[in-house]
Copies of this chain bind each other. A is one copy, B any other.
């Protein structure tokens, strides 16, 4: 049955999907590969904010106690903070500030998270923590201007409901941290935006208790944040992990959670940011490298903006060291890009989204249709992922749309770009190459070539202002079709049959 896409838009396409993207720890942003990747992503996708851990961890060098004339003092030092934030702004992206983790010399304990050892304990001096927050936020305001920094969300800590990220997952201690931090931020300027609690999925009533706490003590909250992932427990192999996966609809349910939980509380109606999401929460699960991941997430990108103000893909690059330095080019990292800028299928899902128009024409379980100001209609379509019957997943999923175009008749030009198990799939190519852990330059070039979407064009006849678009999708295909009515400039003397190679050229 052919789906008729309405001519009149039903609204605007939310850009919650591109509001924010995740990154590895703060000082990785000093790296060239990281910045090259981010530059590419900003050129072809264009995120607005970037969020990651470790701003206050030792590798950034902000908190610097010293002794002078017998007394203890603290320098707050922004050598790397400035280099990173300057680079972000040069690349057209702004920080979504996450305050954490604890500097080792300010920490009350020595529990750490990750290979890079972020300290996850509360401060041993709360006033010094407040000084650190105040100095950091004030410095940003001084350097970048109040107008600019008022636009940067400031989030307090990360996933305090997990013992790995906050010692004991102690909610009372988090409330204390949040309260002090939020007040300190607001002391710098009352219009700065502060929020939390950046919960990992499965937090139960945490958020409600947080709402009660801040309401009871009149603590400032400008936005609420939570994370969303759909994989189960990790089964490890060396340098890798396997997991089971819930349907993608569960991501949308998780997005909807904070709004539902906060209904009736003092925090109802606040902006909700999903400050991390992905299929798997592991940086070593091969799923991230697959076309499956793109097809799985396509409906989430298409619909997530109805539920939240943002949902931030975790993360843009494999330059990420939470479980150590990667031992192979493809290692199941979160990145849209591998090291050295090989594009994964999910990268293209985002790049396709970036070519959608502003006006929403239609949305279904396997498609999203938009139009832009020039009249170009963009169709994003995907082969829905059935997690229960994969072996039967058809390589020939079909989809038929009737698309309104801006001209009553003539032809439309359709450009189709696809990624799938076969096409635009560098991971599959790398597998066929023998999974070289450290590809040489020619192999990298080959991977980059094979990472590009397959592109075709087609002339579609327009009838009554519409074209029929019939798509057959390969296994795990995500495809973008861009349709434009043709303004034919062919001159009257054009005679294709006289062009050499046309098949008729040697007739006299």
Contact = CB atoms under 8 A, between A and B. Distances in A.
B501 A390 contact: yes
Nearest to A460: B432
A64 interface: yes
A450 B459 CA distance: 14
B436 A489 contact: yes
B244 A75 contact: no
A500 interface: yes
A441 B434 CA distance: 40
Interface string A85-108: 011000000000000000000000
Chain copies in the assembled complex: 4
A413 B393 contact: no
Task: Give the size range of A's interface with the partner.
Answer: 35 or more
Interface in A10-60: 30-35, 59-60
A442 to B, nearest CB: 8
B77 A437 contact: yes
Given A68-B492, A290-B501, A454-B454, A506 B83 contact: no
A457 interface: yes
B79 A493 contact: no
Contacts of A35: 32
Contacts of A329: 79
Interface string A459-501: 1000000000000000010000010101111111111001111
A239 B415 contact: no
Interface of A: 30-35, 59-61, 64, 66-68, 73, 75, 77-80, 82-83, 86-87, 139, 143, 235, 237-240, 242-245, 279-280, 285-287, 290-293, 295-296, 324-329, 339-340, 374, 376, 385, 387-388, 390-391, 393, 411, 413, 415, 417, 422, 428-429, 432-438, 440-442, 446, 449-450, 452, 454-459, 476, 482, 484, 486-495, 498-506, 508
